[in-house]
Amino acid sequence: MGAVSSLSAGVNRASARKQALSKSEVQTLISQLQADWFALHYLDRARRVAAIHSQNVSIRQIANGLGFSESNLRHYLWTLEAPALSARAGAAIG
């Protein structure tokens, strides 16, 4: 049974590697975001960072490509969660 689950895990890792973006694709996404950065609203920036991050690109790699700190980008991502957090807090109070 352990051998089957190990094989299954290996297949899952291999298929995840196939779906990963190439370095040039990642750089293209980051370059496009960098070009659009100042024209985007704060939440749109956060959504674009989240979209790139969802493609298995690390926050560190995105931050380095954009020339920002990791903590700055984490704050952007946090804003996407904030409405859900405040709604839950309001429901607990009300």
CB 11 within 8 A of CB 46: no
Task: Convert the pLDDT of each residue in 51-67 to its tens digit.
Answer: 999 999 999 999 999 99
Per-residue pLDDT tens for 25-58? 999 999 999 999 999 999 999 999 999 999 999 9
Residue 68 and residue 34 in contact, taking contact as beta carbons nearer than 8 Å? no
Residue 45 is predicted with a pLDDT of 96
Average pLDDT over residues 8-24: 60
CA angle at 42 for the pair 39 and 43, rounded to the nearest 5°: 115
Predicted TM-score of the model (pTM): 0.68
Higher-confidence position of 44 and 18? 44
